[in-house]
Chains A and B, each alone.
Chain A
Amino acid sequence: MSGDIGLWAVPVAMLGGAIRVSTPFLFVSLGEVITERSGRINLGLEGTLVFGAMAGYAVAYHTNSAWAGVLAAALAGSAFGLVHGLLCSLPKVNDIAIGIALMLLGTGLAFFFGKPYIQPVAPDLPAINLGWWSDLPQVQAALRVNVLFLLGAALAVALAWMLRKTRIGLTLRVVGDSSDAARALGISPARVRIQATAFGGALAGIGGAYLSLFYPGSWNEGISSGQGLIAVALVIFARWSPVNCFFAAMLFGAAGALGPALQSVGVTQGYYLSYAAPFVLTLIVLILSSSKTGALTGAPRELSITK
């Protein structure tokens, strides 16, 4: 390895890690923002993510096209979202309970159907080399950016724009803030919520495809380390703003990259504790952003947890 950059390797590796690790967080949390903005919580996204990873990998393997895999993952994810949305529209059904059930169902189905795909190798998603200007291999490695990451970043901006400037965005916010007002406006809250949950599921599926088709880039049963659940917490941290989700995902990605980065510069003792960094960070963030007085600011008022 040429170009010893000493301790600088840690931040560079963390940046690279942030870009690589954050993408699934980003997609899942963007999907969840849209779902929660409509007044529903889908806790099942962890299951959707794992199933998306499996479905994407399997389809990519059979068609020999990574993008077909991504598409399949999105379709599978939206099917899960649709099921969640439809079930929750029934009277006296709680979205949190359904979410947990679907999380278990999603992972279970993924393991069941995914058994034959643990061995085979499916094509990877392409990456763009944004580090060409540098001679340092560390920088080049860090800036090998996946197309999905760029798409996710663009999507965050687009969703923020949509929420402010379009009819769909305003309708979504109306439904999330007051079912009564929505009904008075002639909007059907159930329909909007079903669509929003299906959209959220599709994004979570894409997040899963990223895991199996790019980083780490293979399908196995331990592919997700709770990204789907953390992403739901991220949404609260990001105060239901898509652009904040981008930064929150980067922050968590960087925290997740801390362990490997320390290891790469030769810290051998205790570095494994830093693998817990994302989880500790989740706790700290949730405690810091909690409030003793009143509901969370910015929280959609129809959410079952804020009601």
Chain B
Amino acid sequence: MKDGRAPSPSFPSEGGGSLSRGLDEVSPPPTKTGEAGKAVGIETIGMTMRFGNFTALDDVSIRVKPGSFHALLGENGAGKSTLVKCIMGFYHATSGNLLIDGFDGDVKDPKDAHAKGLGMVYQHFTLVPALTAAENLVISRADVPAVIDWAAEMKALTAFMDAMPFRVPLGEPVHRLAAGEKQKLEILKQLYLGRRFLILDEPTSVLTPDEADEVLGHVAALCKAGELSVLMISHKFREVTAFADEVTVLRRGKHVGGGKVAELSHQDMAAMMMGDAKPADPAPRAETTGETVLALTGARAADRSGLKQIAIETLQVRAGEIVGIAGISGNGQMELMEILTGQRALAAGGVTVHGVPYAATRAEERRLKVRYLPEEPLQNACAPRMSVAENIGFRSFETGRAKPRFWLAPGAMRRRAEALVADYKVKCASIDSPIASLSGGNVQRAVLSRELDGDVDLLVISNPCFGLDFTAVAEIRSRIMRARNSGTAVLLLSEDLDEILELADRVLVMADGSLVYECTAAEADIPTIGHHMGGHA
């Protein structure tokens, strides 16, 4: 029994209706685990999770003390998301137990977890796109009144928002918010709901480092104050060192190490994550010259909201060159990608590849050897419910002979998929499982294996290392560099400035739908680029 729980003797408990309210304030009802203002701790004991005969989680025991900020590290597909989904009752562990504040947790489903004070920000957004931010917050509460008094709710929400170090417009429908705003809103939602134990699954993937510090700093302060415990999955060592107290490392579903963050270096954590594997060495940058492959001139198109315009006067990428486009997300990168993939019509101007007008038809893509990796590849480059093998076959299922195939060749498709899955180390239960069941990073690898396979003259990629662990990042980047060295023209759109500075030969900055700054990699200067990214040219 905790202190506040015993009924205070000065209030007779048979006091009746009017008194019981006051009584509640003095001593919270003893049934609730998530006491107001008090962090909740959890512990898993021997958690095992099998999908068919694939073991995603193998006898994992972790302990998150009340009020601590605990980081969960591991490679792509290590089982991090699976573990936290078991804690939240989203999956039911094959075996193992969950303790909440030392008592048997017995979480049946996410709703039950919420009632016990547990909350989670999922790797994929779970906001309702058509509802406004305010509606999303209110409907997620357990006690929504039958008729909602919006005037009062808005007042309360504004007051809540004013107490936060970061804000999100309340009246906008969520589908109009930028990715970073959505991510902040997800976290705000959990704070609004008064969670006492918060799971964050890669919470900063679309935030700039400054935004990430703001958000995590606020959450860490709540932990210090003993109001909240946090279990955060992250691939960013910087964030782990800056905010976490303790760390647990998973590898292939097993608990392989952990400890106090203060006592561990980045190398130690990396070593635990990888085991004996070694990250790929960065490929050297070869001297290349080549002629222009991709050229965009006077391109005009409507942006996603239809209110602003994308205007690109000229953009050229030559063979054997990586052109990096830096910019804060939502400044037209997605639209540029859509123009190049033929998903967005141009109002004016044109695209040429090898000097030929290009409309991104399948025939042109094949003839001119153009490949893409769009952002959110599961939505934009996969058929989520089709198998890994089928998804890998999308570029090649009807080729392989002089004329297009009519009948598919399932055997050849499987062999290709198996080879690529092995080559790119895609972790999946089987190549016949739906690609949607792969972990976030492995979807990325599977798509890359398809797009980088064979001869590529032009590669257009958007955030290729989103959500990847550091081994995968090193490997993907060296593959991109090798493609460049062998004469591929690469257009790289990335929100990660470090990635651009590492890979690009030429850096462009996109702000407000236009390319506003250009420099070579040698003259690149972070403050100047940052200045242009902010649109204060």
A residues within 8 Å of B by Cβ? 165-168, 170-171, 173-174, 176-178, 180-181, 183-186, 292-293, 298, 300-301
Contact = CB atoms under 8 A, between A and B. Distances in A.
Contacts of A292: 345
Given A167-B147, A171-B139, 19 more contacts: A165-B147, A167-B139, A168-B146, A170-B138, A170-B139, A173-B128, A174-B128, A176-B130, A177-B131, A178-B128, A180-B126, A181-B127, A183-B110, A185-B111, A185-B139, A185-B140, A186-B109, A186-B114, A293-B344
Given A174-B139, A184-B122, A186-B111, A167 B146 contact: yes
Interface string B335-367: 000000000110000000000000000000000
16 contacts: A165-B150, A166-B146, A167-B139, A167-B148, A170-B144, A174-B139, A177-B128, A177-B131, A178-B129, A180-B126, A184-B122, A184-B126, A185-B139, A293-B344, A298-B130, A301-B130
Contacts of B135: 170, 173
A181 B140 CA distance: 10
B131 A170 contact: yes
Contact of A173 (B110, B111, B130, B145): B130
Contacts of A178: 126, 128-129
Interface string B138-165: 1110001111101000000000000000
Size bracket, chain B contacts:
20 to 34
A177 B129 contact: yes
Nearest to A174: B128
| Majority secondary structure of chain A interface residues (helix, strand, loop or mixed) | helix
Q: Which residue, B130, B138, B147, has most C-beta atoms of chain A within 10 A?
A: B130
Contacts of A174: 128, 131, 139
A161 to B, nearest CB: 9
A181 B138 contact: no
A170 B138 CA distance: 9
Interface in B117-136: 122, 124, 126-131, 135
A295 to B, nearest CB: 10
A101 to B, nearest CB: 24
B138 A166 contact: no
A186 B145 contact: no
Nearest to A292: B345
A153 B124 CA distance: 41
B150 A186 contact: no
A144 B111 CA distance: 53
Q: Which residue, A165, A170, A171, A300, has most C-beta atoms of chain B within 10 A?
A: A170
A95 B222 CA distance: 47
Nearest to B302: A293
A170 B129 CA distance: 13
B110 A184 contact: yes
Interface of B: 109-111, 114, 122, 124, 126-131, 135, 138-140, 144-148, 150, 344-345
Contacts of B345: 292-293
A266 to B, nearest CB: 49
A174 B109 CA distance: 19
Contacts of B144: 167, 170
Contacts of A298: 130
Contacts, number: 58
Contacts of B147: 165-167
A252 to B, nearest CB: 26
Contacts of B129: 177-178, 301
Q: Which residue, B124, B128, B145, B150, has most C-beta atoms of chain A within 10 A?
A: B128
A175 to B, nearest CB: 9
A181 B148 contact: no
A211 to B, nearest CB: 34
B85 to A, nearest CB: 11
Q: Which residue, A171, A186, A300, has most C-beta atoms of chain B within 10 A?
A: A186
B213 to A, nearest CB: 27
Contacts of B148: 165-167, 170
Given A166-B148, A170-B148, A174-B139, A300 B130 contact: yes
Contacts of A165: 147-148, 150
A185 B147 CA distance: 18
A173 B131 contact: yes
A186 B193 CA distance: 14
A165 to B, nearest CB: 5
Contacts of B150: 165
A184 B89 CA distance: 10
A239 to B, nearest CB: 12
Contacts of A183: 110
A159 B345 CA distance: 38
A63 B150 CA distance: 46
A300 B131 CA distance: 11
A174 B140 CA distance: 10
A32 B138 CA distance: 26
Contacts of B124: 180
A262 to B, nearest CB: 41
B128 A186 contact: no
A181 B128 contact: yes
A176 B128 CA distance: 9
Contacts of B109: 186
Contacts of B344: 293
A283 B124 CA distance: 39
A302 B144 CA distance: 23
A240 B111 CA distance: 30
A34 to B, nearest CB: 15
A269 B213 CA distance: 77
A95 to B, nearest CB: 18
Contacts of A181: 126-128
Nearest to A165: B148
Contacts of B128: 173-174, 177-178, 181
A2 to B, nearest CB: 52
Contacts of B127: 181
A186 B144 CA distance: 13
A300 B111 CA distance: 24
Contacts of B139: 167, 170-171, 174, 185
A72 B128 CA distance: 37
Q: Which residue, A173, A174, A298, A301, has most C-beta atoms of chain B within 10 A?
A: A174
A185 B148 CA distance: 18
Nearest to B140: A185
Contacts of A168: 146
Given A165-B148, A170-B148, A293-B344, A186 B110 contact: yes
A182 B129 CA distance: 12
A184 B118 CA distance: 13
B145 A167 contact: yes
A180 B128 CA distance: 9
